[in-house]
Chain A
Amino acid sequence: MLPKFTYVRPSSLSEALEHSRSDGAVLHAGGTDLLGCLRDGVFPAERVVAMSGLEELRGISPTRDGGLRIGALTTLAEIAAHPLITERYAALAQGAASAASPQLRSQGSLGGNLCQRPRCWYFRSDFHCLRKGGAICYAIAGENQYHCIFGGDRCYIVHPSDTAPALVALDARVRLASPSGTRLLPMESLFVLPSEDVRSETVLQPGELLTEVLLPPPAAGQRSTYRKVRARGAWAFALAGVAVALSGADDRVEGARVVLSGVAPIPWRAVDAEELLTGGRLDAETISRAAAATVTGAQPMTRNGYKVELVRGLTEETLQTLALQ
């Protein structure tokens, strides 16, 4: 049984913002991550503020600039199946389709997928780790086969989202609402490294709420894909994944984003690989060099060295697939 809490279901955003400011309030979107955290005592909640009454946060609609607006409460299943997303933003559709299980995808929301807490088994269990206000990260000397190879600093979580790397690759923006107004951020600015804040995965402040994601119109010749490797064929988090978005033609790539999942505390841009791909031909040699560049600066821990070669090989295969499109 879950611990006790009170429950409110506001019918407007302003009411939701008001409720979420109170001490001990937590936001409930799909609830698939929240209820697990409450059940496991990862963090407490005095009041659950359900967003399910906020109709304005649902749905997928074209924007005036030719892009797309996705409300934060839109489910992963809706995103994975939407024709405009599968056609124009394939990486996002693939990311949403490869997350969790059919049941969780018909419940879990995009906003929740971006704001979910890490799956580190020390964080999720009884260890009073650094991210929960304790003194140390238990993964450093412990079982770290699923932890990060980039961006670790005192804490070595990986970001569990499959939609976040796709959205960073597609140069999406995210809107955050608070009682004082809204702010619009590049998707990659939503996430914070442990070196910036070891207690939080996003820049969201208490009482602030993620309302929508905005995708820009696709650039000329844009194609994208997300590929995820997991320990079994379904319903598992990424050991490693890569979202790639390219624009321009194969004989001259105009823009390139290569964003890794499952290997860093945030969706991790492989900037060296992006630079190698930009302005050049998408041929076998460039692909091979770019794939090697994705792991520049990797710092594997005692048990996750396999991720280095996994990322390199995964990126190489993914770029080869895109070159054939």
Chain B
Amino acid sequence: MAEHRDNRQPSSSGVSRREFLGTVGAGTLGAALVGPAAPASEAAAPQADGLAPVTLLINGRPQQLRVEPRWTLLDVLRDRLGLTGTKLGCGRGECGACTVLIDGLPRYSCMTLALEAEGLEVTTVEGLMNGEELGPVQQAFVDEDAFQCGYCTPGQVVAAEGLLRGSPDPGLEEIQDGMSGNLCRCGTYDHIFKAVRRAVELRQSAGS
């Protein structure tokens, strides 16, 4: 999709992104970014070492990896690709901190096997940047002060992005329902709902 303009990895991220995503240890991640390349295989046949080759399309960029079948998409995003914007919260599909878009729809990456994402388009919070600028949904969360500790925020932002891709101008009830798969322990829900409305305006003025 046209929105995925930023294909670079967090190791080279600028200040604005680091501040926003709260990415830690970004400078040490470079080594983990490029795993041993393996030929793409649709059948994901496991090798003798139990690792299966897979090509994942992350933020518009193909990533060739070898993964254990039990690794979730979240495991791979954070621990193999260094895309630590996506957070591990409950690890059981209840809190939404790990939300990513898969083929444009919000899903829990902790409840998705990495092998199941093969052939699908995955978008993480890093993929919502416009170069070094925040994307409209990210900017809206800043504008509306829609977080306190910020841990759930990447998941909230991606869930809001998914909601607005499916329904560009939702009312409050639809926003509440669309954001109901994401918990915020700081309880900033009112600000989050305002941020989604603000994002509608920013997206409209950006013509996206």
Contacts and interface: CB of A to CB of B under 8 A. Distances in A.
A1 interface: yes
B115 A50 contact: yes
B81 to A, nearest CB: 17
A233 B178 CA distance: 12
B93 A103 contact: yes
B46 A6 contact: yes
B93 A104 contact: yes
B134 interface: no
B193 interface: no
A39 B92 contact: yes
A235 B52 contact: no
Contacts of A234: 176-177, 180-181
B29 to A, nearest CB: 20
Interface residues of A, number: 29
A31 B111 contact: yes
Interface string A32-44: 1001100110000
Contact of A106 (B43, B68, B107, B116): B107
Q: In the complex, which of the residues A3, A40, A101 has the most CB atoms of chain B within 10 Å of its own CB atom?
A: A101
Nearest to B113: A31
Interface in B69-92: 69-72, 75, 91-92
A6 B108 contact: no
Given A101-B180, A102-B177, A103-B93, A3 B70 contact: yes
Contact of B96 (A1, A7, A35, A103): A103
Given A102-B178, A107-B107, A107-B108, A4 B115 contact: no
A3 B70 CA distance: 7
B163 A36 contact: no
A103 B162 CA distance: 9
Interface residues of B, number: 35
Contacts of A324: none
B-side binding surface: helix, strand, loop or mixed?
mixed
Nearest to A98: B177
B162 A102 contact: yes
A9 B43 contact: yes
Contacts of A31: 111-113, 116
A302 interface: no
A2 interface: yes
Interface string A18-60: 0000000000100110011001100000001010100000000
Contact of B52 (A7, A100, A101, A102): A7
B159 interface: yes
B91 A235 contact: no
Contact of A48 (B69, B163, B180): B69
B111 A6 contact: no
A242 interface: no
Contact of B46 (A7, A103, A104): A7
A5 interface: yes
B40 interface: no
Contacts of B178: 102
Interface of A: 1-7, 9, 28, 31-32, 35-36, 39-40, 48, 50, 52, 77, 100-104, 106-107, 233-235
6 tightest A-B CB contacts, nearest first: A101-B181, A7-B69, A234-B180, A106-B105, A2-B70, A103-B181
